[in-house]
Structure 1
Amino acid sequence: MKYYEINFDGLVGPSHNYAGLSLGNLASKNNANLTSTPKAAALQGLEKMRTLIKLGLKQGVLPPLARPNLTTLQQLGFNGDIEQMLKAAYEHEPALLASAYSASNMWVANAATVSASPDTQDNKVNFTPANLVSQFHRSIEAVQTQRNLKHIFNNTHFFHHHDPLPAHQHFADEGAANHTRLTPEYGKAGLSLFVYGQSIKEPENAPKKFPARQTLEACQAIARAHQLTAEQTVYIKQNPDVIDAGVFHNDVIAVGNLNVLFYHQDAFEDTKAVQTELNEKWAKISDKPLYFVEVPREQVSVSDAVKSYLFNTQLIALNDNEMALIAPTECQQTLAVHDYLTELVNLDNPIAKVVYQDVKQSMRNGGGPACLRLRVCLNEAELAAVNPNFVLDEAKIDALKVIVEQHYPETLDLASLANVDTYQQIQKANQALAEFFEINEEF
């Protein structure tokens, strides 16, 4: 049976704004309080989805969570009617208002960890929503994300849904942004690479400036829940120095697909040990070559990698022999990165093409092409069991574009979030999307 790696992209929500809420994410902090353009952001995201369809890939979509999350505001003591709640939150705790409105769930690489059925002992696709406890504005997403995942992947014969890990820093989990699957073929058992920033058992070996958002203990818990074997699981310690340099997730410094691991020289604490373990475990599952595409610091600094999001690119398979990188246009505009990519496609590895995509609105909040998608490996029967409302073609993209163009705000800033007229416009957009996807979200 044929298998596919399908990118389920998060549709940017109508409350997309720049509040600078994400500690350790340099773009988020540097662009805090700029005026955002939700309509342009959503249209850019839809065009990226269209690009992948045109490249011959199957493409899915995850809906935005309905915002603002009024339940959260009520839990925090803001009462009265909606207008009173919004104004009180803005006057007394504007960051909490921004959190309730946050559209950060558009970066669905953080939504969940997904294990393919060839890797799991129950032979089902396993999902664990990320608890996202390291950032308040994201920690309020997990329950709603799980509800959406169960709605989309709703056949229990094929899909196994787990609860988020306990909401404690001991099990801090940021989803697929710290998980990579390497495999000789999508339909064969592969290696699950879990990258973590800190182990609770070794608190001294942690970043000094910014928090480590993924713990080893969280990775191990997910591997147990998904019934992954030790022979096919690899735990990799992220370099704490690059976390302090703005690499808040592994997918800001490394990306993998099939038999290629593309990463910066400074990505991991002990790169040689990583290569040794991967080679040993790979040899037991395949005789295909395993490619380590390591970017030297002399060619691309960590700073340039973070600025351009060189590694937050989508590494996609064009055919059995060639891959492409879907890269943000910032990679074109960063000289060292552009020069490296020009050289990369001529080296002895499967990466043969770079496709540049404009996702500037997302990039300003620290999310490149890879942040906007959750990869789900499915065979033909599993794909047929997915709720078809969330599997895209160009006609559905056109229909979503109409909704965005008709209902999304042109611009948003923090002050406008307290305006009841803004609230009502966003609710109209939420309702139109709920009708399109046939979902019922109430807060």
Structure 2
Amino acid sequence: MKSYEVNFDGLVGPTHNYGGLSYGNVASQSNSQQSSNPKEAALQGLAKMKALMDMGFQQGVLAPQERPDVAALRRLGFGGTDAEVIERAAKEAMPLLVASCSASSMWVANAATVSPSADTADGRVHFTAANLNCKYHRSIEHPTTSRVLGAMFADQKHFAHHAALPAVAQFGDEGAANHTRFCREYGEAGVEFFVFGRSAFDTRYPAPQKYPARQTLEASQAVARLHGLKDDGVVYAQQNPSVIDQGVFHNDVIAVGNGEVLFYHEDAFLETEQMLAELQSKLAKVGGKFQSICVPRSAVTVEDAVRSYLFNSQLLSRADGSMLLIVPEECRGNERVWQYLQSLTSSGGLIREVKVFDLKQSMQNGGGPACLRLRVALNETELAAVNPGVIMTAPLYGTLTEWVNKHYRDRMTENDLADPQLLLECRTALDELTQILKLGAVYPFQIN
């Protein structure tokens, strides 16, 4: 039976703005309060989805969240009609309104952790929505994320869904941004690689000094238990605290893996040699041959990696066995990074080609190509059980492009977020989107 890695890309929401909400994310902080272009952001994301589909890769789409999140503001004491809630929040607590309008759910690498059926004890694909409790504006996402994933992967014979972990610091979970799976074939048993920034209970693990470590070891271990993963099929590794303090807020800013290959920066991890040996040993037990590509700091500094998002790229397996790297335009704009990529692809190694995409709207808020997609390994039967409305096709691309052009603004500032009309525009757009994607009622305004 054939198996596939399906990339489900996040559709950028209508309230895409540069709120500067993510402390520790250099791009998010440095572009705070600039004017954004939601329409351009959504179209850039759709263009990437269409391009990968045209290249023969399986591609899906994941719907955005309802924003502003009026219910979240009500829980914080703002009352009255929806319009009055927004007006009062804008007057009394603008930072809370900005947070409730964040379109950060576009970065669906943080939506959940996914384990394919070949790895799990019950032979189903398992999803655990990430609690994202390190940042308030992201911590309010997981209820809707769970409903959307449930509508996409509804067949309980093939798919199992878990609620987010307890929303406390000890179980900080950032989803697939800190999770990679290595395997020989997507439908075969593999090794799941969990990367954490700190331990909540074990003081032997060092912690960063400047920026928060968002993923805990305990959260990763809990997800592995929920998914029924075998000890021989799991490897845990700690991020280097010093790179977190340089702006590497998730592992996918400093490393990316696919198939049997890990592409990583020399300074990405602690105990690197021990980690590589464990990955090699465990993957060999299931018939795989682990390979790694280390980018030396002498060629690309951590600062270069953070500014260019070299590692927040998509590493894709092609039919001929070679690999394709999808990178943002910022990589071409960084002389050292581009020189490294040219030498990498000309060496005849594992990565044979680099394709560049303009994702400026996402990049300026701190998310590159890899942030925009959630990877789900599926066999043919499981893929057939996925809600067909969310699988990208040429007609769906055309429909979504028309939908964006119809409903999205081409300019968004902080003042625009205070406009009660924006909520009505968003709800109208999302109500139409759920019909396009055949999701049913997944948003609070559709349910309540």
Shorter-normalised TM range:
over 0.9
Tell me, what secondary structure is at the counterpart of 2:68? coil
* Alpha-carbon distance in structure 2 between the residues aligned to 1:349 and 1:237: 27
1:351-430 map, 5 Å: 351-430=351-430
1:320-359 map, 5 Å: 320-359=320-359
* Alpha-carbon distance in structure 2 between the residues aligned to 1:331 and 1:291: 24
* Alpha-carbon distance in structure 2 between the residues aligned to 1:47 and 1:264: 29
Tell me, what secondary structure is at the counterpart of 1:278? helix
User: What displacement does 1:263 show?
Assistant: 0.3
1:212 aligned partner: 213
The letter for the 2-side match of 1:202 is D
The letter for the 2-side match of 1:265 is E
* Alpha-carbon distance in structure 1 between the residues aligned to 2:180 and 2:95: 33
Percent sequence identity is 50
Gaps in structure 2 of 5+ consecutive residues = none
1:174 aligned partner: 174
Cα contact 2:70–2:86 (8 A) shared by 1: no
* Alpha-carbon distance in structure 2 between the residues aligned to 1:58 and 1:128: 22
User: What displacement does 1:92 show?
Assistant: 1.6
* Alpha-carbon distance in structure 2 between the residues aligned to 1:289 and 1:190: 11
User: What displacement does 1:290 show?
Assistant: 2.1
1:289-308 map, 5 Å: 289-308=289-308
| Stretch moving more, 197-206 or 51-60 | 197-206
| Stretch moving more, 378-387 or 272-281 | 272-281
2:83 aligned partner: 83
* Alpha-carbon distance in structure 2 between the residues aligned to 1:394 and 1:102: 29
1:101-120 map, 5 Å: 101-120=101-120
1:264 aligned partner: 265
* Alpha-carbon distance in structure 2 between the residues aligned to 1:241 and 1:437: 42
* Alpha-carbon distance in structure 2 between the residues aligned to 1:342 and 1:195: 29
Q: Once the two structures are superposed, what CA deviation does each residue of 1:241-270 show, in whole Å capped at 9, x if it has no partner? A: 000100000000000000110000000011
| Stretch moving more, 59-68 or 277-286 | 277-286
The letter for the 2-side match of 1:259 is E
Q: Once the two structures are superposed, what CA deviation does each residue of 1:367-395 show, in whole Å capped at 9, x if it has no partner? A: 00000000000001000100111011111
The letter for the 1-side match of 2:280 is N
* Alpha-carbon distance in structure 1 between the residues aligned to 2:221 and 2:290: 24
Cα contact 1:14–1:430 (8 A) shared by 2: no
TM-score for the superposition, normalised by structure 1:
0.98
1:19 aligned partner: 19
Is 2:37 the counterpart of 1:31? no
2:311 aligned partner: 311
Aligned residues: 442
Cα contact 1:17–1:413 (8 A) shared by 2: yes
Tell me, what secondary structure is at the counterpart of 1:247? coil
2:194 aligned partner: 194
Tell me, what secondary structure is at the counterpart of 1:306? helix
User: What displacement does 1:430 show?
Assistant: 2.1
Tell me, what secondary structure is at the counterpart of 2:128? strand
* Alpha-carbon distance in structure 1 between the residues aligned to 2:163 and 2:270: 30
* Alpha-carbon distance in structure 1 between the residues aligned to 2:347 and 2:377: 28
The letter for the 1-side match of 2:17 is N
Cα contact 2:10–2:105 (8 A) shared by 1: yes
Tell me, what secondary structure is at the counterpart of 1:200? coil
Cα contact 1:409–1:426 (8 A) shared by 2: no
Q: Once the two structures are superposed, what CA deviation does each residue of 1:31-76 show, in whole Å capped at 9, x if it has no partner? A: 1111110000000000000111111101001101111111101111
| Stretch moving more, 231-240 or 273-282 | 273-282
* Alpha-carbon distance in structure 2 between the residues aligned to 1:144 and 1:83: 22
Cα contact 2:284–2:290 (8 A) shared by 1: no
* Alpha-carbon distance in structure 1 between the residues aligned to 2:281 and 2:428: 54
User: What displacement does 1:128 show?
Assistant: 0.3
Tell me, what secondary structure is at the counterpart of 1:234? strand
Gaps in structure 1 of 5+ consecutive residues = none
Q: Once the two structures are superposed, what CA deviation does each residue of 1:115-145 show, in whole Å capped at 9, x if it has no partner? A: 0111111111000000000000000011110
The letter for the 2-side match of 1:323 is M
User: What displacement does 1:320 show?
Assistant: 4.2
Cα contact 2:280–2:289 (8 A) shared by 1: no
1:147 aligned partner: 147
1:442 aligned partner: 444
The letter for the 2-side match of 1:38 is P
User: What displacement does 1:412 show?
Assistant: 0.6
* Alpha-carbon distance in structure 1 between the residues aligned to 2:343 and 2:202: 40
Cα contact 1:409–1:425 (8 A) shared by 2: no
Tell me, what secondary structure is at the counterpart of 2:127? strand
User: What displacement does 1:349 show?
Assistant: 3.0
* Alpha-carbon distance in structure 2 between the residues aligned to 1:201 and 1:90: 39
User: What displacement does 1:283 show?
Assistant: 2.1
1:275 aligned partner: 276
The letter for the 2-side match of 1:213 is R
